[in-house]
Structure 1
């Protein structure tokens, strides 16, 4: 859409979204924002999700408290699951607020749009699974550390 490739929107439809113009920046900005959040998910399965990278001032090299990652990730999982589920049930309503002649039905555009958006239905539940595994691993590790005797023996 941001590149003005016809994916079902007519010239009139693109104009409604101010494409070309500020709408193009919005579409690309929204894409970068979503990809950044998706990239942060890797922190739940990579070591940099447990220790702040050294290049971050004042925090670099320090451990990340598990709740610092768990709360935003769990909130994101819930929000994405609710939003995508709600949107899936309203899929037939897509485009009803657009002016007549802004969107072309048929011609395979509906299938292309469905294929582009369908994977989003998995993002929330998969993020929830990864978040739960991170919480289990990090909080369970802290519980085990707490149970270790001090001084190394009896």
Structure 2
């Protein structure tokens, strides 16, 4: 079968033509990222999303079955910005985990004024990632202690067993952030700081 029209093959360069530069994608890294690390980076925002969505009714005064001693917020002007801000901040921090598996975690993107194109020292990424990992482990420990009632602590009284289960499941997914971020931080350290 013959085709008429443009060929699917790229044109061959002539001796006088300069090679066309190929843009480097934002995902390019100095050393290859393990497939599991890339999958973990994609999983972190997904495991944090359910608790962000679960929080939203609290912004509008719904207790989600939690029987609390006193209301934390006295008006919607306080609760809406706080809850929405907390949820957005949680997801933004989760999305920053991509810096551990993408090129913009190794080189400042070119669109950043004055700093664009400069290499990022590994410590500038590892220190915040390690501190966030430690914070995430504190949250995981707190969730474990309160969910299972260890040391006489509990996670609150719920009016409904289904809502209590929902709260424990979505917060349990959220605290999976600890081991996932720790694994990503370790993979970044191995990729950037260890010699091949």
- What band does the TM-score fall into relative to the shorter chain? 0.7 to 0.9
| Whole-angstrom CA distance in 2 between matches of 1:119 and 1:19 | 29
User: How many angstroms does 1:39 deviate by?
Assistant: 0.8
* 1:94 maps onto 2:155 in alignment: yes
Decide which structure has the larger Cα Rg and report it: 2
**1:16–1:76 CA distance, 2 compared to 1 (3 A):** closer
State how many pairs are aligned. Answer: 134
Partner of 1:41: 97
**Does the Cα contact within 8 Å between 1:70 and 1:135 map onto a contact in 2?**
yes
Shift of 1:19: 5.0
Please give the residue correspondences for 1:13-28 in structure 2 after superposition, counting only pairs within 5 Å. Answer: 15-18=71-74, 20-28=76-84
Deviations 1:18-62 (A, max 9, x none): 352212211111111111111110110111111111222221111
Q: What does residue 130 of structure 2 align with?
A: 74
Match of 2:168 in 1: 114
Q: In structure 2, how many angstroms separate the alpha carbons of the residues matched to 1:115 and 1:14?
A: 24
Unaligned runs of 5+ in 1: 96-102, 145-154
Distance 1:46 1:90 in 2: 36
Following TM superposition, the consecutive aligned residue runs of length 4 or more in structure 1 with deviations greater than 6 angstroms are: none
Alignment-derived partner of residue 2 in structure 1: 59
Aligned equivalent of 2:115: 59
User: 5+ residue gaps in structure 2?
Assistant: 1-57
- Indicate the SS of the match to 2:59: coil
- Which is helix-richer, 1 or 2? 1
Aligned residue for 2:178? 124
SS of aligned partner of 1:16: coil
Query: Cα RMSD (Å) of the superposition?
Result: 2.3
